[in-house]
Amino acid sequence: MNFRPLHDRVLVRRIEADEKTAGGIIIPDTAKEKPQEGEVIAAGAGTKDETGKVTPLDVKAGDKILFGKWSGTEVKLNGEDLLIMKESDILGIVG
C-alpha cells in the first residue's frame, strides 16, 4: 500500500466481530454494530512540540487496538475499507 499517515494519525483495518453469540445465535448483518477493534496498518512519525522535537507515537504497524465507536474517518484505499484516526482516538492496545 502506498499511503503514509502524517503526524499523529494512524491507518486502521477493522477486525470483524464474531457472527455468533456465545449461546450460538447467529447475528444478521443488519443487527451488527461496526467493530471497535482493529489492526494498525501504518502510523505517522509523531507530533512536534514548540521546539520542533518529534514525540513518537505509542502504536506501530501490526498492533491490535480498541477505539471509540465514532472514531476516525472512513476511507477506501486499494478497494479496502479502512479508517484514519488520531492516536488520541485509540483507547488502548490489545494483548
Decide if 83 is inside a domain.
yes
Owning domain of residue 66: 9-17+30-93
Amino acid, single-letter form, for residue 88:
S
pLDDT, tens only, 29-45? 555 566 689 999 999 99
Give the total number of structural domains in the chain.
1
In a domain, 2, yes or no: no
Mean pLDDT of 53-80: 92
Amino acid at 70: W
**What is the rounded average pLDDT of the residues 69-88?**
92
* Within-domain flag for 65: yes
CB atoms within 10 A of CB 95: 3
